[in-house]
Amino acid sequence: MTTDLPDSEHLDGNAAAVLFAELFAPDVTAAELVCGGCGAEAEIGAMLLHGGSMGAILRCAHCDTAVLKLTRTPRGLWLDMHATRRLFVAAPVA
């Protein structure tokens, strides 16, 4: 898959579809994030899960900040990352 984007400075968000597909296709539990509460870096799989039938709340194992909230509704999935400073998905090994 190529990640080359058009050179134009004024495109709509659809032009980033290739990059978003690359971000959300891998196993996201291996992605690393930085907690907005304490600055700890950890894989999503190392977060503490609190959840139920509607979704999941992932909390930082260091400070208990709710770093990710994933909610299932009749309209689709909602992802809230307001307490995440940064998310990193490693490039696949070729």
93 lies in a domain? no
- H/E run at residue 87: strand 84-88
Enclosing domain of residue 77: 13-88
Q: State the average pLDDT for the chain.
A: 84
Distance CA 6, CA 53 (A): 41
Most confident range (mean pLDDT) of 3-7, 21-25, 31-35 is 31-35
78 lies in a domain? yes
pLDDT, average across residues 10-18: 76
- Global confidence as pTM: 0.73
75 lies in a domain? yes
> Is the pLDDT confidence value at 21 over 90?
no
34 lies in a domain? yes
- Using the structure block, give the residue that is written with the tokens 């959840």: 51
pLDDT of residue 13: 75
The Cα-based distances of 9 to 5, 6, 15 in angstroms read 10, 8, 11
Q: What is the sign, positive or negative, of the torsion defined by CA atoms of 65, 22, 11, 5?
A: positive
Per DSSP, what are the bridge partners of residue 57? 50, 69
If one counts the domains in the chain, the total is: 1
Which phi and psi angles does 30 have, rounded to 5°? -90, -10
